[in-house]
Structure 1
Amino acid sequence: MSNADQGGTAALELEGLEKSFGPTRIIRGVDLTIVRGERHAVIGPNGAGKSTLFHLISGHYRPTSGRIRLDGRDITGLSPEQINRRGLARSFQITNIFPQLSVWENVRCATLWAMGYRYNFWRDIDGLDDVRLRTEEILGQINLIERWDMPAGMLAYAEQRALEIGLALASDADILLLDEPMAGMSHAESQHMVELIRKVSENRTLLMIEHDMGVVFNLADRISVLVYGEIIASDTPERIKANADVQRAYLGTEVA
């Protein structure tokens, strides 16, 4: 039984969330609660507002109205850096790494910041054992320890996506937002990524956008369907599959 079935503490709460660009309403009064420890997927057709919703949660956009709470604390309007420090990390649709730096250096940079080490030209970062151990731990989690000295830009695409998840893990966030983590991957690569996400999301809360329905139904405890900026259903995978409104609005089928 998932955490969502059992009930539990809310990790993330959206209340009456709205976002307009000029006269165009993109997000239209979204109410959604993500329970601590669950894996929650947001699905919907192109243009439904899924990425805009993630931009609002992660602080890249300010909502037109409504509230966002993280662990019960209001984070509405805070910057991405402030939200990250409160325990939420995000990956993007487009891979966001430092391609010229090695895999090790990418993760170490994120680890340094998360562990409180700020810019200091006089500090020997190679001598920071706590940073080294944490960097090794993350590379092990994302299965890139053998690629540690390779320039990140030389990694295979799926490995770059795994590295980006590693950068999110470096912040030691309790809540992970993953925006289309399987985009552009082959079936075999997607299967590896599913297992990676399953592993790294243990003891964390996961909220993801994903178009691959096989992945969604395999990985998510609960699914919310966003259509034209509104949540039309939020339920277990089995009930979402059987929901007539979802089949008509999202799957494009008519229910007798």
Structure 2
Amino acid sequence: MTSTSPIAATSTSTPAPAIALQDLEKSFGAIRIICGIDLVIPAGERHAVIGPNGAGKSTLFHLISGHYRPTAGSIRLNGEEIAGMAPEKINRRGLSRSFQITNIFPQLSVWENIRCATLWSMGYRYAFWRNVERLADAREKTERILSEINLLHRWNVPAGELAYAEQRALEIGLAIAGDASVLLLDEPMAGMSHAETERMVGLIRTVSEGRTLLMIEHDMSVIFGLADKISVLVYGELLASDTPENIKSNAAVQQAYLGTEAA
């Protein structure tokens, strides 16, 4: 019998999807939050998840990143099953995420925040006899990432003293410092001004080059300008998954979420 699974085995010449979900479900007691989602995100795609409040978007991210264990279904990262795996193990397999609430080390400098993330990814472990200041490769990588996120000029500032938009940029730097091939960004533009949003969009466009991006965002102008594909989640079900142009013209999506914005 021919398989109709969205994650059916591919030929050796076709790379596995970056993320593949099959029959994914999550319930809390009798309440179903995620209701049998099937979704395939190819490597290198910028993919956005939108939907009204309470649709299950953050729960979906928690499932993919390992913070929640699914009630049922499959989650594959680059072809490897990760459903129920601990977050740190998923991270080491190439997935990194940001959260709605900024998650940095406020007492450490901007430089120290990024260097901490780079050391583990480069194979360095704690050793009291090692002077990290002498690790030229870690220093070079830290400097490169700070340049990429436009914070090199703020390298010695305590992270907690950065402006809000700068803290969000630093969090993205932490996400890419571990050489993740898949980035999950949860509302990266939340609370930003128009000018800050424009700068953040440029940063995300830059850091997602050569990576797979899955993001939640409520700013429709950002979504339609940045995403290759958009998935619409309503009451835990996948209503549509298509190009921005087709999502704009989808009557069911307009009725469920976009409303007059689609015009």
TM-score category by the smaller chain? over 0.9
- The counterpart of 2:131, out of the listed 124, 138, 141, is 124
- Matched residue, 2:3: none
Report the TM-score, using the length of structure 2 for normalisation. 0.92
Distance 1:77 1:104 in 2: 33
3-state SS of the aligned residue for 1:251? helix
The aligned counterpart of 1:102 is: 109
Q: What SS does the corresponding residue of 1:122 show, helix, strand or coil?
A: coil
Which residue does 2:206 correspond to in 1?
A: 199
CA distance in 2, matches of 1:246, 1:137: 41
Task: Find the partner of 1:14 among 6, 18, 21.
Answer: 21
What SS is found at the alignment partner of 1:226?
strand
Structure 1, unaligned runs of 5 or more: 1-6
**Letter paired with 1:55:** H
- Correspondence for 2:163 among 132, 149, 156: 156
**1:47 maps to 2:54:** yes
**Matches of 2:123 and 2:100, distance apart in 1:** 28
Q: Which residue of 1 aligns with 2:252?
A: 245
State the 4+ residue runs in structure 1 displaced beyond 4 angstroms: none
Tell me, in whole angstroms, the C-alpha distance in 1 between the residues paired with 2:20 and 2:219. Answer: 25
Tell me if 1:79 matches 2:93.
Answer: no
AA paired with 1:231? L
Match of 1:183 in 2: 190
CA–CA separation in structure 1 for the residues paired with 2:210 and 2:114: 21
Could you tell me which of 35, 38, 50 is aligned with 1:31?
38
Letter in 1 for 2:228: D
SS of the equivalent of 1:95 reads coil
RMSD (Å), alpha carbons: 1.2
Q: What is aligned with 1:4?
A: none
2 CA distance for matches of 1:81 and 1:190?
Answer: 30
Instruction: Determine if contact 2:97/2:183 at 8 Å carries over to the other structure.
Output: yes
Q: 1:252, CA displacement in angstroms?
A: 3.7
Question: Deviation string for 1:64-120 (max 9, x for gaps)?
Answer: 000000111111111111101111110100000001110000000111111111122
Q: Distance in 2 between matches of 1:40 and 1:160?
A: 23
Distance in 2 (alpha carbons) for counterparts of 1:41 and 1:8 = 21
How far apart in 2 are the matches of 1:47 and 1:66?
21
> Which residue of structure 2 aligns with residue 137 of structure 1?
144
Give the SS at the match of 2:258: coil
Q: Percent same amino acid among aligned pairs?
A: 74
Give the whole-Å Cα distance in 2 for the aligned partners of 1:210 and 1:148.
28
**Shift of the alpha carbon at 1:171?**
0.6
How far off is 1:251 after superposition? 2.0
CA distance in 2 between counterparts of 1:136 and 1:243 reads 45
